[in-house]
Amino acid sequence: MAQALDPHAAIATQAGGIDDGPLTTADGQPLARALRRSQKRAKRRAFLLVLPLLAFILLTFVVPIAQMLQRSFYNDGFSANMPQVSAWFADTERGTDPDEAAWAALAADLTAAAENRSIGVVGTRINYDMAGTRSLFTSTGRKVRDGLEPPYQAALTEIDAKWADPVLWSTMREASSPVTTNFYLASLDRKRDAEGSITQVAENQRVYIMLFLRTFGLSLLITALTFVLGFPIAHLLATLPMRKSNLLMILVLLPFWTSLLVRTTSWIVLLQQQGVVNDLLVWANVIDANGRLQMIYNRTGTIIAMTHILLPFMILPLYSVMRTINPSYARAARSLGATSWTTFRRIYFPQTLPGLGAGALLVFILAVGYYITPALVGGSSGQLISNMIAMHMTDTLNWSMAAALAALLLAAVLLLYWCYDRMVGIDNLKLG
């Protein structure tokens, strides 16, 4: 028994005796050291339990995202396949007109790239910054395979006069270094002109800033709507007797547990022009049969469906805070002569703020990243920034652009996540 399992017990037996020297454990070690050692061992044990998961998450989640971020500013599609002309760009000042050496380098690179069948990659890379140039590269590639004769400038411009375009040369200069900020500039509707200064793109091509604004605007609106709809429900559930509120809670938890696609399908069924809601409105003579409302495949559809999907995320945190509010404060306020509105405004509502903050942040964070619902019910006016990322991933295959947009969205979400951790604490996140 003296050889106790835990050093604290041993310390207790030793500390009982009065001794002039420093406190020691049963086996004669200084107390502080023994404590520190056991503390260290406990720390290591706790960490070892977490380690497998941490390694797993780092490998399957953090590394992929880090790689994606790297892709947003690193693209060697041009520089790796066009080494000679890239070297010429590196040696000369911005704005230098291409001399015959540059043309020779370009011709040699084009020939080599055509041989290696990497000319499509090069063309695609330039096409990102200057639309319509991919075909210039591929068609030139087909022709140069037979060999080019000097002078190269004349030979290349004979194949296609576009090779002499100074904008093309400045675009190639941009792409000649694998590290580029161009994708971020494009994400903010900016580009570099021939002199290398940053300008806005043409008015009809400015889409990304508008989409970011729309994403944040719609998310704010949806957060506000979930608050307006969620607050009375949370209050009712928190004040009803346990038995009744548990029963009503099912009505909140069932949507929470139901598949996202099921709920989105339901809204399509309800809101479409030949759907249930329009039928009801026609039957009630609110609208006539020809004036059926278009409520889906547009922004309205996105707002309604997302509000429904995110509403439980507002109700649950509000509810758990409201449960802990002591009703005697409100009663005291009433007994001191406050009206019910004053009591609500000055006594009850301030106490619900932590739940409101938690719910609002959670809903907003989830809303800015939503993809499935806007893609299915949003039409063209209800699309969010994540739909644009998906489009670049699957349709235009401009992966660096998708990565840059994703990086900007990620930065916004992480900022909000950090606020959430500060305000609420991640460990206080509750699920039903």
Partner 1 sequence: MALPNYASPAERIWHWSYLLICTLIFIFLIAPILVIIPLSFNAEPYFTFTEKMRSFDPDGYSMRWYDSLLTFGMQAPDGPRNAGWWADAWANAKWINAAKNSIIIGFFSTILATFLGTLAALGLSRPEMPFRRAIMAILISPMIVPLIITATGMFFFYSNPCSVLGWVGLPTNCGRLAGTYLGVILAHATLGIPFVIITVTATLVGFDQSLNRAAASLGANPRTTFFRVTMPLILPGVISGALFAFVTSFDEVVAVLFIAGPDQQTIPRQMWNGIREQISPAILAVATILVIFSIALLTTVELLRRRSERLRGVTPH
Rule CB under 8 A: say whether 13 interacts with partner 1. Answer: no
Rule CB under 8 A: say whether 39 interacts with partner 1. Answer: yes
Q: Is residue 272 helix, strand or coil?
A: coil
Contacts of 269 (CB under 8 A, 6+ apart): 275, 276
Give me the least distance between CB of 49 and partner 1, in Å please.
Answer: 3
Give me the least distance between CB of 382 and partner 1, in Å please.
Answer: 15
Residues 158-177 that bind partner 1 (CB under 8 A): none
Rule CB under 8 A: say whether 432 interacts with partner 1. Answer: yes
Residues 408-427 that bind partner 1 (CB under 8 A): 409-410, 413-414, 417, 420-421, 426-427
Give me the least distance between CB of 401 and partner 1, in Å please.
Answer: 11
Give me the least distance between CB of 406 and partner 1, in Å please.
Answer: 5
Rule CB under 8 A: say whether 296 interacts with partner 1. Answer: no
Give me the least distance between CB of 260 and partner 1, in Å please.
Answer: 6
Rule CB under 8 A: say whether 63 interacts with partner 1. Answer: yes
CB-based burial label for 165 (10 Å; 0-12, 13-18, 19+): middle
Give the C-alpha separation, 406 to 65, whole Å. Answer: 10
Residues 234-293 that bind partner 1 (CB under 8 A): 236, 239-240, 242, 246, 248, 250-255, 257-270, 272, 274-276, 279
Compare residues 159 and 338 and give the one whose CB is closer to partner 1: 338
Specify the residue for token string 């704010």.
220
- Binding range to partner 1, per CB under 8 A, among 48-56, 136-144, 153-161, 181-189: 48-56
- Binding range to partner 1, per CB under 8 A, among 10-18, 97-105, 192-200, 233-241: 233-241
Interaction mask 176-195, partner 1, x per CB under 8 A: --------------------
Number of chain residues interacting with partner 1 (CB under 8 A): 93
Specify the residue for token string 């590269």.
137
Give me the least distance between CB of 146 and partner 1, in Å please.
Answer: 33
Rule CB under 8 A: say whether 71 interacts with partner 1. Answer: yes
Give the C-alpha separation, 424 to 356, whole Å. Answer: 10
Instruction: Give me the amino acid identity at 217.
Output: G
Beta bridge partners of 198: 192
Rule CB under 8 A: say whether 196 interacts with partner 1. Answer: no
Query: How far apart, in Å, are the Cα atoms of 245 and each of 242, 252, 324?
Result: 5, 11, 15
Burial 413-423 (b: 16+ CB within 10 A, else e): eeeeeeebeee
Residues 392-411 that bind partner 1 (CB under 8 A): 393, 399, 402-403, 406, 409-410
Residues 86-145 that bind partner 1 (CB under 8 A): none
- Whether 86 and 136 have beta carbons less than 8 Å apart is answered as no
Burial 65-89 (b: 16+ CB within 10 A, else e): eeebbebbbebebbbebbebbbebb
Q: Which of 20, 21, 22, 49 binds partner 1 (CB under 8 A)?
A: 49
Residues 302-321 that bind partner 1 (CB under 8 A): 308, 311-312
Compare residues 107 and 402 and give the one whose CB is closer to partner 1: 402
Give me the least distance between CB of 134 and partner 1, in Å please.
Answer: 22
Residues 352-391 that bind partner 1 (CB under 8 A): 365, 368-372, 376, 386, 389-390
Contacts of 213 (CB under 8 A, 6+ apart): none
- Binding range to partner 1, per CB under 8 A, among 51-59, 81-89, 185-193, 200-208: 51-59
Instruction: Give me the amino acid identity at 137.
Output: F
Give me the least distance between CB of 302 and partner 1, in Å please.
Answer: 15
Tokens of 247: 């029963």
Contacts of range 92-97, beta carbons closer than 8 Å, 24 or more positions apart? 94/170, 94/173, 94/195, 94/196, 95/195, 95/196, 97/166
Give the C-alpha separation, 4 to 147, whole Å. Answer: 87
Rule CB under 8 A: say whether 3 interacts with partner 1. Answer: no
Compare residues 47 and 329 and give the one whose CB is closer to partner 1: 47
Give me the least distance between CB of 67 and partner 1, in Å please.
Answer: 6
Give the C-alpha separation, 387 to 369, whole Å. Answer: 9
The H or E element that residue 198 is part of is: strand 198-200
